[in-house]
Amino acid sequence: MMMDDELFARAARKAAGQMLEELPSGEQPEHQFSETFEKKMEKMLRSQRRPQWQRSLGRISRRAAVLALVAFVGLSACLMGVEAWRAQFFQMVEEKFPDHSRITFENTSGREVPEGPFIPYEITDIPDGFTCTQFSYSDFFNYAVYEDGEEHMISFDQNRIDSIAIGLNTEGASLEPITLNGEPAQFLSNLGMQTVLWYDDQYCFMLTSDLPREETLRIAGSVRVKNVPEGLPSGFDADMAADRGDVVLAPEDNRNLDKLDRFMKNFAAGVPDEITLSIFTGTGGIRLRSLAYDGSKITFYRDDSFDEKSDQPWVQQEDFDSIEIAEEPLDGKTTYIINLYSSHYDHPTEVASYR
């Protein structure tokens, strides 16, 4: 969505090399943002990028989306100073440049960061009127955006502390040491945006909003461990998916397509409905798609974390305005493509395809 030149450009010193090797080619499908959405994002982007990072938001590929999360490439050579804030096992280091600061974390204990699954956190005190319009998480990052429909936004980001660097626009401003829930944190107010940065022994957290200081701090202080569904049952297959009511899309084995037809008819009639699609790739992978229509918008939830061969092996949610099923001839057969549309994009987002 809006991840190109995102809220902060990053580089994962340790993980970046491995991740970049695994990224899909630059020929992946691209999104083109609408002019209205570009203008809406410009204010937030200015607060967390340096001027030479300001590339057009017009087009974003899957590769760019990942790079914006974990890759911070190219720093100014004009380093002005270094400051460090020490915690129990890590210290946050700020390298000051003329128009930005680079934040990294140094292990001061000599011990390794505990291995294990990535545990996502979430905002628990969301202001009235705000809804989550996008979230995404995997085994290396967690990201969410909230909007109130009146140009106000909140973004929350979480990354593993041992593989992250953050670029912040500190031109004309500086980081302010504060306390958040009894722990050291940093606060930045610049270009009308408020940013709170804090960390523990495993994760770095950042929350940015265009709300007042005290409200931003209150929201940041409400971040807690997220309740995540347990996942798929053991031995989950097409039969189990069909039995629980999913639309099953598999090579030569589509089932419950009548539920998809019902969803399309209900959308056309303005009747709320929801469906889940279980996509079996034929190579052992499972991809989950959920569509929930509330009478005004469609919330699209995708989860490719059960497919090792997916080029986007993470969970993501986003809202859309409309849906259609397009037909394309291929090899003498008709391929049906489920597409979602949003005023934020100039091109459709594909949910799934089947024959």
Mind listing the pLDDT tens digit for each residue in 27-58?
Answer: 444 455 555 556 555 545 544 433 322 222 33
CA 155/CA 195 separation, integer angstroms:
9
All residues at 6 or more sequence positions from 309 whose CB lies less than 8 Å from its CB, including other chains: 281, 283, 285
pLDDT class of 26 with cuts at 50, 70, 90: very low
333: confidence class by pLDDT, cuts 50, 70, 90:
confident
Buried b / exposed e across 190-199, counting CB within 10 Å, b at 16+?
Answer: beebbbbbbb
pLDDT at 346: 86
Q: What is the pLDDT of residue 114?
A: 61
pLDDT at 229: 58
Distance, in Å, from the CA atom of 267 to the CA atom of 247, rounded to the nearest integer, reads 17
Residues 6+ apart with CB under 8 A from 281: 287, 307, 309
Quick one: what percent of the chain has pLDDT higher than 70?
70
User: Is pLDDT of 139 > 70?
Assistant: yes
The pLDDT, as a whole number, for residue 219 is 96
Distances (CA, A) of 61 to 138, 314, 353: 18, 16, 20
**Amino acid in position 35:** E
Mean pLDDT of 277-302: 91
Return all residues near 252 (Cβ < 8 A) that are at least 6 apart: none
Q: At what angle do helices 62-70 and 15-22 cross, to 10 degrees?
A: 180
Mean pLDDT of the chain: 75
Q: Average pLDDT of 306-326?
A: 84
Q: Is the pLDDT of residue 84 over 70?
A: no
Residue 244 predicted with pLDDT over 60: yes
Which run of H or E residues covers position 265? helix 257-269
Q: Using one digit for the tens of pLDDT, what is the confidence trace for 178-211? A: 989 888 889 989 888 899 999 887 888 999 999 9
pLDDT tens-digit readout, 214-231:
999 999 999 998 766 567
Higher pLDDT, 110 or 48: 110
pLDDT of residue 322: 96
Nearest-angstrom CA–CA distance, 334 and 354: 9
pLDDT at 145 over 60: yes
What pLDDT does 203 receive? 86
CB atoms within 10 A of CB 27: 9
Q: CB within 8 A of 26, min separation 6: which ones?
A: 61, 63
148: buried, middle or exposed (CB in 10 Å: 19+, 13-18, 0-12)? middle
**What is the predicted pLDDT for the residue at 276?**
93
pLDDT at position 59 = 30
Domains, in order of start, for the chain: 86-225 (3.30.200.100), 238-354 (no CATH)
pLDDT of residue 316: 79
Short-list 138, 161, 157, CA closest to 146? 157
In this prediction, residues 132-160 reach a mean pLDDT of: 87
pLDDT of residue 37: 56
pLDDT at 111 over 60: yes
